[in-house]
Chain A
Amino acid sequence: MNTQKVISGFFIIMAMTLNFGFFYGDIDTFSHHSPYELFATIVVNLIATILKLGDKTQLGSVLLATSLVADIQLISAATIWGISAYVMGNLEGTATQVIVSLSGGALMANIVSVILFIGDTLKSKR
């Protein structure tokens, strides 16, 4: 067993599952989407990004790219959340839709990342 693989696998998959957890629910209804879950998704995604840094292989580069995509989408979702909730004071309707669909995009990136990760694992002979 490779400890490093366990850790990075844990974070990569966790990033996807948390992301899904946040994404799942009615797109218009704010109460279906927990801010805590978004926070956890962002943190876990950032950690996953950093774990992917420093791998010079082709696969490593693509993995890093997917993580960066997810980070950007999630952070913009959080930013929109902050602006609409505290600056505009209105979190219903459109804002929720934008936030959730952004997290949906991030989810896609995370899924790609997990698929690549699984593929790499299956290919490995050790």
Chain B
Amino acid sequence: MAQETSMSSAEVASFKQNVIKESKSTKTIRSDFIQFKHLDFLANDVKTSGKMAFKAPNRVKWEYTNPYQYSVVFSEDQLLINDGGTKSKVDIGNSRLFKKLNQLIVNSVKGNMFNDADFEVTFFKSPKYNKAIFIPKDKKIGEYIASFELLFNKDDAQVYEVKMIEPSKDFTQIIFSNRILNSVIDDSVFSN
């Protein structure tokens, strides 16, 4: 791993500013992703992959294409799920925890979640990336996620990796690639 050091407060301020600026000018994102689920007792991480689409202000579609077809559209109070042709809706309106987890997924795509009062945030830098680590203050959320890490490109302040670490140290890692910014994405993409 590349050497990693804490950012100074001046570096934090300028880094945040870059991410916020970048996030504001991002109207749409299309990206491929690979997800690794690490469980300490397995020989290999569980690997799935697919495509992600984001349209400002808050619409996100995750579409797994390998090894199975499964897509989710996040909207305000609902998840629209298409599980290999079986469609369902999940109301998340009354679950604060679920809402928070969804908000994390939506916000982590853009990277702009520094003002989230539910997390303690610390910042690190290396020659290759900038990193923000989010630790939940809420005990309930802490039971699911010990910490949430976002890795940002040095040059364009875009998120290229998300890592969700559980209290057991098992983790989920999502790595983005082939990111296309501000192309036209039709609303129908988010109907699922």
State yes or no: do A and B come from one complex: no
Taking beta carbons and an 8 Å cutoff, which residues of A are in contact with B? none
